[in-house]
Amino acid sequence: MIDPRDLVAKLSAEGVSLYCGVPDSLLKAFNTCVGDSESGTVHVISANEGNAVGLAIGHYLRTGTPALVYLQNSGLGNVVNPLTSLADPEIYGIPMILLIGWRGQPGVPDEPQHRMMGRITSALLNSLKLPWSVLPEETEKACKEMGEAVSLSLSSKTPYAFLVEKGSFTTVEPKSGAPVHRSPSREEALVKVADALGPDCVVVSSTGMLSRELVEYRERTGSSAAMDFTTVGGMGHASSIALGIAMNEPELEVWCLDGDGSLLMHMGALPVIAQHAPRTFFHVVFNNGVHDSVGGQPTSINQVDLPALARSAGYKYAATLSSLDDFPGEMTALRAVGGPTLLEIRVQPGNRADLGRPRSEPAQSTMTIMRALTERARS
């Protein structure tokens, strides 16, 4: 296994002076190392992977040194454009290292949303004409190949990609952070929201722990999940999916249950929602300030006044809760004003250790919600 501290030291010795990207569970130990303020690295957790590539380009233009962009392979979709139309050797020719967690690697069990990208990752890198290799799972070899890759990236003016297999890095424990202020858990807040919605609402939940908690809530209470769409992949797109449903659903309320990292990833959806959403569109953001599903790395949400942002984007009403005491009144206010409206609920990071995973296939969810909505329209 690779000691990520040694790999970071090698990268720094090779002139890599910026680390940026979107965290991934396979890269958790590496992310912990570059996020340590004592490591001497410059580290930026980006809103999305394309942002990170743009940052790496600007960094090289000013410093002449390459950056490392880290991402899960699902994020390759967000970097295709800046890699091919900007960083490519035939365009601006920008050196950088891409460190990519290989989720859904063929032969390695993983969640359904990673299967397709896992199968096509190597072919996609070939199509992008990127030099790439699988990072060796031994520290000395990994450091050697990383040094060679940095040299090739600089001499050929090209990005170089490494795929990281599951279990490649040794564990690195993060240093204790600042104490978390008392606020409800995400699951406590989710239960409050779900209880308040009742059975006659469409619910679109964001990828990660939130959707897993919603599935368990349905199973535990015996309430119907027929009109739930749990967005297990495609981080950042739940609100647009909810908008697409709401624009074609004349009667039922449509509730998007979102996360702060997800909202940040595609924040440009907010004014589009404001422009097109009907009054039955409601947006709830569970804000714990971290990327919870991949290791708890911080997001940049503390730079944002979410209610002010939503209102400036055109939402009719937006508010924040740090406790659930005022929750009933805010739900009444949301519905009285009518959508698009937004409620930010500040919650604690973390989740139950025994939290389960959805047992049904995503395609089954598609058929279930479409059937339920069609039958509702006929009744």
Adjacent-strand bridge partners of 298: 290
Average pLDDT over residues 52-58: 97
Residues 293 and 301 sit within 8 Å (Cβ to Cβ): no
Q: What is the pTM of this model?
A: 0.89
Average pLDDT over residues 293-315: 92
pLDDT tops 80 at residue 221 = yes
DSSP 8-state symbol, 163:
E
DSSP labels, 29-48: HHHHHHH-GGG---EEE-SS
pLDDT-derived band of residue 39, with 50, 70 and 90 as boundaries?
A: low
pLDDT of residue 352: 83
Q: What is the pLDDT of residues 163-177, one digit of tens each?
A: 999 999 998 887 655
Nearest to 38 by CA among 9, 74, 72: 9
Cα–Cα distance, 199 to 335 (Å, whole number) = 16
Both tokens of 162, joined, read 């490494």
pLDDT of residue 293: 79
SS3 75: helix
The rounded percent of the chain whose pLDDT value lies above 70 is 97
The residue behind tokens 């500040």 is: 346
Nearest to 103 by CA among 167, 51, 20: 167
Average pLDDT over residues 313-323: 96
pLDDT-derived band of residue 266, with 50, 70 and 90 as boundaries?
A: very high
Cα–Cα distance, 10 to 143 (Å, whole number) = 6
Q: Where are the domains of the chain?
A: 4-164, 186-378
pLDDT-derived band of residue 263, with 50, 70 and 90 as boundaries?
A: very high
Q: Positive or negative, the Cα torsion across 118, 263, 190, 28?
A: positive
Which long-range contacts does 122-126 make (Cβ < 8 Å, 24+ apart)? 122/163, 124/76, 125/76, 125/161, 125/163
Contacts of residue 87, Cβ cutoff 8 Å, sequence gap at least 6? 53, 56, 57, 93, 94, 96, 158, 159
pLDDT tops 90 at residue 185 = yes
pLDDT tops 60 at residue 179 = no
pLDDT tops 90 at residue 361 = no
Average pLDDT over residues 361-376: 90
Average pLDDT over residues 7-17: 95
Average pLDDT over residues 154-163: 98
Radius of gyration of the chain (CA): 22
CATH topology for 4-164 is Rossmann fold (3.40.50)
Average pLDDT over residues 332-346: 97
Both tokens of 189, joined, read 């807040």
pLDDT-derived band of residue 198, with 50, 70 and 90 as boundaries?
A: confident
Cα–Cα distance, 71 to 73 (Å, whole number) = 6
pLDDT tops 90 at residue 295 = no
pLDDT-derived band of residue 178, with 50, 70 and 90 as boundaries?
A: very low
pLDDT-derived band of residue 123, with 50, 70 and 90 as boundaries?
A: very high
Average pLDDT over residues 131-140: 97
Residues 97 and 157 sit within 8 Å (Cβ to Cβ): no
pLDDT of residue 38: 67
pLDDT of residue 175: 67
Tell me, yes or no, if the two domains 4-164 and 186-378 fold the same way: yes
Q: How far apart are the first and last CA of the chain?
A: 59
Residues 96 and 69 sit within 8 Å (Cβ to Cβ): yes
Nearest to 113 by CA among 234, 227, 238: 234
Cα–Cα distance, 66 to 161 (Å, whole number) = 13
DSSP 8-state symbol, 170:
P
SS3 275: helix
Higher pLDDT, 210 or 354: 210
Nearest to 7 by CA among 153, 133, 135: 135
SS3 260: helix
Average pLDDT over residues 364-368: 90
pLDDT-derived band of residue 250, with 50, 70 and 90 as boundaries?
A: confident
Q: How many residues does the chain have?
A: 379
User: What class is the 186-378 domain?
Assistant: alpha beta
Higher pLDDT, 77 or 359: 77
Higher pLDDT, 355 or 125: 125
